[in-house]
């Protein structure tokens, strides 16, 4: 087990088209698996809470999850921003980057290893 801890994996999620949201979830889930197989522990709020939110009719918007995400960022080594389509426009990703910088956590950027974008 790594002593280094985990990274918070930030990615866009919310979209008016539910199909896009599901595809975004599937891709970030697969990136989280890729990182884990590579020996880098990460926590993805999308990969780790999408199913729970859908199954329990919980909100999927940024505002509902903001405090929870901040808690997870505080406990992380830093954040990795998955640069999939929409990341620069995402209110959630922007807020996660700003918060990480505010509390002096490193912000790293990663292209999609599968080169898939929504």
Per-residue pLDDT tens digits for 23-66:
999 999 999 999 989 999 999 999 988 778 888 898 878 888 89
Token look-up 């697969």 returns: 30
Look at residue 98 and tell me whether its pLDDT is greater than 50. Answer: yes
C-alpha span between 74 and 76 (Å, rounded)? 6
Q: Is residue 27 within 8 Å of 114, Cβ to Cβ?
A: yes
pLDDT recorded at residue 1: 44
Q: Residue 2: inside a domain, yes or no?
A: no
Query: What CATH number has the domain bearing residue 15?
Result: 3.40.50.10400
Specify which residues 8 forms β-bridges with. Answer: 43, 79
Look at residue 11 and tell me whether its pLDDT is greater than 60. Answer: yes
Q: Residue 22: inside a domain, yes or no?
A: yes
How high does pLDDT run on average in the chain? 88
Range of the domain at 58: 7-110
Number of compact structural domains in the chain: 1
C-alpha span between 44 and 17 (Å, rounded)? 21
pLDDT recorded at residue 56: 87
Q: Residue 83: inside a domain, yes or no?
A: yes
């Amino acid at each position: 087990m790594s002593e280094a801890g985990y990274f918070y994996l930030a990615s866009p999620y919310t979209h008016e088209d539910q199909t896009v949201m599901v595809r975004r979830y599937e891709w970030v889930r697969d990136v989280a698996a890729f990182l884990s197989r590579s020996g880098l522990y990460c926590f993805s709020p999308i990969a780790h809470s999408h199913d729970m939110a859908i199954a329990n009719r919980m909100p999927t918007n940024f505002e509902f999850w903001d405090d929870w995400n901040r808690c997870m960022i505080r406990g992380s080594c830093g954040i990795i921003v998955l640069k999939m389509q929409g990341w620069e426009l995402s209110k959630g990703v922007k807020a996660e980057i700003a918060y990480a910088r505010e509390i002096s956590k490193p912000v790293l950027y990663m292209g999609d290893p599968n080169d898939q974008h929504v």
